[in-house]
């Protein structure tokens, strides 16, 4: 009886810890997958007026395993040439050239709340025609609530950036 009284709380703590870490890992993988899927769609649709909405629609499809209310920030942004941060920044504090989205429970979709990067200003030229093309990124910050109460809530931030698919002669490129 004494051994059971000592071992039982330890076993339960381990079980709850494994469950909590498993759920955190699931949300981390879902966040990573949705950001990567979104950036692939974004890079393939340069200079189209609905590039940002198509991107977040793909993000929403990939985020089906989590509650969309947990997504605190979702951006489609112009990325620096050297890293995945927004243009002119070295962090994700803000972005000057992006489209920011928020979750609308009424429409059950992501809706834009600000847009400072119109499709017409994207450079999707080949290197021979005025490139290199701009880099486009997707950033998501997700809140992971504690399920068991043994571990505090966590925030997952994930970003990915890739160059826009170059077009041989879109408007604005050199002939």
Assigned domain for 168 exists:
no
Which pTM does this prediction carry? 0.88
Domain span holding position 41: 2-163
- In angstroms, the CA 79 to CA 15 distance is 42
Query: Structural domain tally of the chain?
Result: 1
The answer to whether the beta carbons of residues 91 and 97 sit under 8 Å apart is no
- In angstroms, the CA 156 to CA 134 distance is 26
Assigned domain for 136 exists:
yes
Per-residue confidence in pLDDT tens, the chain, 175 aa: 889 899 999 999 899 889 998 999 999 999 999 999 999 999 998 888 899 999 999 999 998 889 999 999 999 999 998 888 999 999 999 999 999 999 998 999 999 999 999 988 888 887 766 668 899 999 999 999 988 777 788 999 999 999 998 866 556 665 5
Assigned domain for 150 exists:
yes
Cα separation of the two ends of the chain: 85
- Closest Cα to residue 73, out of 23, 24, 34, 25? 34
The answer to whether the beta carbons of residues 50 and 28 sit under 8 Å apart is no
């Amino acid at each position: 009886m004494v051994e059971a009284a000592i071992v039982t709380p330890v076993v339960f703590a381990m079980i709850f810890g494994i469950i909590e870490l498993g759920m955190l890992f699931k949300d981390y993988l879902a966040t990573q997958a949705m950001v990567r899927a979104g950036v692939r769609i974004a890079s393939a649709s340069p200079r189209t007026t609905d590039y940002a909405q198509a991107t977040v629609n793909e993000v929403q499809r990939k985020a089906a395993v989590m509650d969309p209310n947990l997504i605190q920030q979702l951006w489609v942004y112009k990325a620096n040439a050297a890293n995945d941060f927004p243009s002119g920044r070295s962090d994700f504090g803000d972005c000057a050239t992006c489209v920011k989205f928020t979750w609308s429970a009424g429409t059950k979709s992501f809706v834009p709340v600000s847009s400072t990067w119109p499709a017409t200003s994207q450079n999707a030229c080949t290197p021979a025609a005025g490139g290199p093309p701009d880099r486009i990124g997707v950033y998501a910050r997700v809140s992971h609530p504690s399920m068991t109460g043994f571990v505090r809530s966590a925030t997952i931030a994930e970003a990915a950036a890739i160059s826009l698919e170059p077009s041989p002669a879109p408007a604005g490129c050199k002939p």
